[in-house]
Amino acid sequence: MRRKIIKQGHNTLTITLPAEWTKRFNLDAGKEVELIERDNGLFLSTEKNGEGKKIELCINSMDIPTIWKYLMSVYREGYDEVVVKFDPNMVLENPYKFFAHNKFDAKYSKELETKPIVEIMQGFVNRFIGFEIIDHGKDYVVIKDLSAPSSKEFDNSLRRVFLLVQQMAEEACESIKKGDYKPLLHTHDIDVNLDKFQDYCIRILNKLGSKETRKTSLLFSILYFLELIGDEYKNISHHLIYDFPNKKSKAIEGIALSIKEQLDIYYDLFYKFDLKKIKRLSEIDQSRYFSVDQTHRKVRDTEIEEIFHHLRSIAKHINSLTELRIEMEF
């Protein structure tokens, strides 16, 4: 819709708001709205005028994985208050057995098989930055966002995602080099933190968008690929610790190091675009392409082939990230 700019006084310009829109959000003279600047436009929001976005969920017919998916979705979508309703007699399994599908969570194996609903909800809520349980009763839990998402918080959280991915790559390379895989036992904890900050970034993008609107969708995709890379390193760590702990993996050391170098270069590239870094990423990729094939023919080891598979996936994700970073320049 179009609105005509009206001059009031010497330096003030105003526009009128659509009547239907103001009625829908109960806006009267004197109330405030939020103006967010994006590229060459202004986004008008009522979120700070009232109590924000609310939603009610009934989880009676859901199992733990389904509840998790619903809570993660409303969190990412930017809801500020979630009322979770449930049958007081409802019994659910311990959510920890669903949070990880491997032996990294063996430390939770002695937990009770079932837990009270409120405790289960608290475990979920602890996974989301800013979310807290502010009220509960026999058949409900009220979850509210007590944080103040901002562009600065997005920048800090995105940088944290990058650093966690780099940490996983560095520790994997060091363990492969030394043949000691025990330090990788906490890889799952790193991945949980990575997912937590990734979800927070997605939440902020959905609530506020990027400073440059056209880059918002690109940032969503970048976060997606960074999460996939974290998952691949978690899988690699699991294989090295549990599936073949006595297997020497020297054959993949060079490939793992080259991928780590690419991740470090991409981190620098993301924050300071440089064509030389793009070229270097390509050179490493081409060099590794031939060395992987040669090494793979020599090894012929089913167990090491599994690691090859995950490293190749990471390499593909880095290529996708590079393409997205280039696109951000246009």
Q: Which residues contact 304 (CB under 8 A, 6 or more apart)?
A: 247, 249, 251, 252
Distance CA 174, CA 233 (A): 13
pLDDT at position 76 is 95
**Helix ranges restricted to H, 86-186:** 96-99, 117-125, 151-178
**DSSP for residue 18:** P
Structure tokens at 194: 């990575």
Q: Show pLDDT as tens, one digit a residue, over the chain (330 residues).
A: 778 888 887 788 888 888 887 887 778 888 888 776 665 567 777 655 445 789 999 999 898 889 999 999 999 999 999 999 999 888 887 766 555 444 544 444 445 566 788 888 998 999 999 999 999 999 999 999 998 888 889 999 999 999 999 999 999 999 988 888 889 999 989 999 999 999 999 999 998 877 777 789 999 999 999 999 999 999 999 888 887 766 666 778 888 999 999 999 999 999 999 999 999 999 998 887 766 656 555 555 666 778 888 998 999 999 999 999 999 998
Residue with tokens 């309703």: 85
Domains of the chain as residue ranges with CATH: 6-45 (2.10.260), 54-145 (3.30.110), 151-327 (1.20.58.220)
Distance CA 166, CA 282 (A): 19
**Helix ranges restricted to H, 12-150:** 19-24, 64-76, 96-99, 117-125
Give strand pairing partners of 302.
Answer: none
pLDDT at position 298 is 57
Q: What are the angstrom distances between the C-alpha of 292 and each of 260, 284, 319?
A: 15, 12, 16
pLDDT at position 258 is 93
Question: What's the CA angle centered on 46, arms 45 and 47, to 5 degrees?
Answer: 95
Q: Is the dihedral of CA 68, 74, 78, 82 positive or negative?
A: negative
* CB distance 288 to 232 below 8 Å: no
Q: How many CB atoms lie within 10 A of CB 128?
A: 21
Q: What are the angstrom distances between the C-alpha of 122 and each of 97, 132, 263?
A: 16, 8, 35
CA 114 to chain centre: 28
Q: Using DSSP, state whether 145 is helix, strand or coil.
A: strand
pLDDT at position 109 is 47
> What one-character-per-residue DSSP string does 282-317 give?
HHHHHHHHHHHHHHHHHH--HHHHHHHHHHHHHHHH
* CB distance 4 to 15 below 8 Å: yes
43: left (phi over 0), alpha (psi -120 to 50) or beta: beta
Specify the length of the chain in residues.
330
Q: Count of alpha carbons within 13 Å of 69, Cβ hemisphere only?
A: 5
pLDDT at position 49 is 46
Distance CA 150, CA 209 (A): 10
**C-alpha dihedral, 267 to 248 to 291 to 324, nearest 10°:** -20
Nearest to residue 165, comparing CAs of 257, 104, 219, 233? 233
pLDDT at position 293 is 59
Question: What's the CA angle centered on 194, arms 188 and 199, to 5 degrees?
Answer: 125
* CB distance 92 to 117 below 8 Å: yes
